Amino acid sequence: MTSLDKHDFSLSSEQMYQSVFRLGPSMISLTRFEDGAIYDVNDMYCRTIGYSREEIKGRTSLSLNLWVDKDDREKIKELLLKDGSYKNIEVLYKRKDGSVFNGLQSAELIEINDEHYIIAVTSDITKRKQAEKDLETEKERLAITLASIGDGVITTDVEGKITLINQVAEELTGWKFEDANGKPLDAVFHIINEKSREPCENPVQKVLDCQGVVGLANDTVLISANGTERIIADSGAPILDSEKKIIGTVLVFRDITEKIKLESQLRQSQKMEAVGILAGGIAHEFNNLLYIISGNAELLMDDARPEDEENLQGIIKSTQRGADLVKQLMAFSRKSESSLYTIHLNAEIRNIKKMLDRVLPRMIDIKLDLADNLHSIKADPGQIEQVMMNLCLNAKDAMPDGGLLTIKTANGVIDKTFVDIHPAKPKKLKEGKCVILTVSDTGCGMDEKNRERIFDPFFTTKEIGKGTGLGLSVIYGIIEGHNGHISYYSDVGLGTTFRICFPVVKDCQTVSASDKDSVEPLSKGVETILIVDDEEAITSLTKSMLERFGYRTFSADTGESAIDIYSEKHKEIDLILLDLGMSGMGGKICLKKLVEFDPDVKVIISSGYFEEGLIKENINADAKGYALKPFTRKEISKAIRDVLDKD
């Protein structure tokens, strides 16, 4: 027991209450209940209201105009009558200067000398009210911000338990706030590495560990409650209180699946662009080389022993395929037009089969299952050959120990019941009759991961030198160019089937594969031809070819000397075979000068570079024909006769 307990405070209570009344931090008033006359107020009251004690004493709250809302007065009066007291009622008071403040009031009826008095204690809570209001507004603003931003936001406490999750985060995670609230983050925010499929480190832990902002690693995949996977980018940061103590974390993330896809498409098209530029760059050189090889082989054919003929034919065919390959690359990357004829697919396939018999190992059986009365399709025979060869060579690679390669054709109809297997890229199919080509193998097949990427340029599972990864992407481009559709079915160990639908056409004349190869007599002549090319091997080869047809020839290795020769011998020279891509003056200017000299000059443009626009432009201008290297003897002799015989 302390010494204070012994004191009798009642003796000084009157004095004590006086002090509390005067010094108390709240406004205190004593009012006669009967007429509302204010008996006394404390200093705080005067200071808050703005009147002096003298001004207040004896007046009523009404006459002092203290009420903003007079109903407040009625309300508290009723409470006092009913209960004799009230606690913490909010009232609005007006000061002497007219300004308004919020008061929190408690009051009691007391009896002094048989009269009822109200003793009321009021605190000015204006600041608190304002702070509450500000907080409310801030909260509202934060809620609107969180709801309207495109990013997912999750906040957690320091234990990593979720305290808030906005709408976007609800969508991305598949969790509603009500269900997620209070759950540990990793129960809701399920992230793994896209490549390894291993769970990623909990970002909350990362933030807490490093006490700062952290970003997520690349290739992070968020798996939502229903299993949807999305690639996300995100960052996490600590939430600090005013003393810079961490009181939680905030996680902001967004779905970048689409962006990544777009980026990869862009990269893909850039790759194709690069291939296009590369192909364009080598096309001229390459085709010149092919021409030299095939031309010389053709010359050899004339004197070849019968047993060598097939080999020479092989060389010639391959150069043609080489030229086609360059053309396809250009066609694919530049989307230049292909030459569509009406063809019979079966005839093309029978032709290609001959080639396959030679290139595929004996362990692979080739089975043709070709439909009778197959509709004609509109297609580029060279491109069809390329599609077939690419598919069959892929099949060969998939069957290193041998197997069965089946090539099948059928008439079909694309209608609502048509079941698509894996399309290369999903698209709406045009309904109507079609020709269906299927190429199946009994090879290794593909797993799901590879299946997704096989149409990507440069995607290959083969060793360097064995695969370019361009085969299927070129096929895809070609089929698109034919308004066709390619899909496939493949599974590990079960083999692979590619199915291509070509729309059927009715119009257009027919060029069948056999027509193309038919043995037509070579067109000969006795005229004089000037061969202009800066490559010696080409001029001498063309010279030999043409001389064997009976023509006389001159040759020039520059544009300048061509003009000199022609101006001197134009009476003798019947036709000029002019290379477009020479160094120095170049074919184009040379052609212009030749025409200036002789408007009737007959020029055939020869080029190893098939910018169709460029060639047509020249022909329209001045040339009479064009020949694309590598041309065969048949082609060049026909082109020459066409021009010479035209008048």
Q: Which residues bind Mg ion (CB under 5 A)?
A: 394, 471
Would you call the peptide bond into 630 cis, given omega within 30 degrees of 0 as the criterion? yes
Q: CB 209 → ligand ADP: shortest distance, Å? A: 43
In the DSSP assignment, the letter for residue 219 is: T
Residues 438/388, Cβ–Cβ less than 8 Å: no
- Among 48, 173, 383, 460, the residue binding ligand ADP under the rule CB under 6 A is 460
Q: Which residues pair with 434 in a beta bridge?
A: 412, 503
Judged by beta carbon, residue 117 or residue 476, the one nearer ligand ADP is 476
Question: Phi-psi bin for 214: left (phi > 0), alpha (psi -120 to 50), beta?
Answer: beta
Task: Return the residues of window 378-437 that contact ligand ADP according to CB under 6 A.
Answer: 390, 394-395, 398
Residue 87: what residue type?
A: K
- Among 261, 462, 569, 616, the residue binding ligand ADP under the rule CB under 6 A is 462
Q: Tokens standing for 350?
A: 């029978």
- 360 is a site residue for ligand ADP (CB under 6 A): no
β-bridge pairing 575-579 and 377-379: unpaired
Residue 121: what residue type?
A: V
- 351 is a site residue for ligand ADP (CB under 6 A): no
Q: CB 476 → Mg ion: shortest distance, Å? A: 12
- Among 188, 312, 472, 562, the residue binding ligand ADP under the rule CB under 6 A is 472
Residues 292/299, Cβ–Cβ less than 8 Å: no
- 288 is a site residue for ligand ADP (CB under 6 A): no
Burial class of residue 310 in the structure, from the number of CB atoms within 10 Å of its CB (0-12 exposed, 13-18 middle, 19+ buried): exposed
- 467 is a site residue for ligand ADP (CB under 6 A): yes
Judged by beta carbon, residue 441 or residue 557, the one nearer ligand ADP is 441
- b/e map of 371-384 (b: 16 or more CB within 10 Å)? eeebbbbbbbbbbb
Q: CB 569 → ligand ADP: shortest distance, Å? A: 52
Judged by beta carbon, residue 473 or residue 618, the one nearer ligand ADP is 473
Q: CB 390 → Mg ion: shortest distance, Å? A: 5
Judged by beta carbon, residue 219 or residue 397, the one nearer ligand ADP is 397
Question: How far is Cα 295 from Cα 282, in angstroms, rounded to an integer?
Answer: 19
Which of ligand ADP, Mg ion, none does residue 459 bind (CB under 5 to 8 Å by kind)? ligand ADP
Task: Return the residues of window 557-576 that contact ligand ADP according to CB under 6 A.
Answer: none
What stretches of 293-379 adopt beta strand conformation (E)? 341-343, 364-369, 377-379
Q: CB 227 → ligand ADP: shortest distance, Å? A: 28
Position with the least CB separation from ligand ADP: 471
β-bridge pairing 190-193 and 552-556: unpaired
Position with the least CB separation from Mg ion: 471
Q: How many residues bind ligand ADP (CB under 6 A)?
A: 23
- 486 is a site residue for ligand ADP (CB under 6 A): no
In the DSSP assignment, the letter for residue 60 is: B
Binding site for ligand ADP (CB under 6 A): 390, 394-395, 398, 441, 443-446, 450, 454, 459-462, 467-473, 496
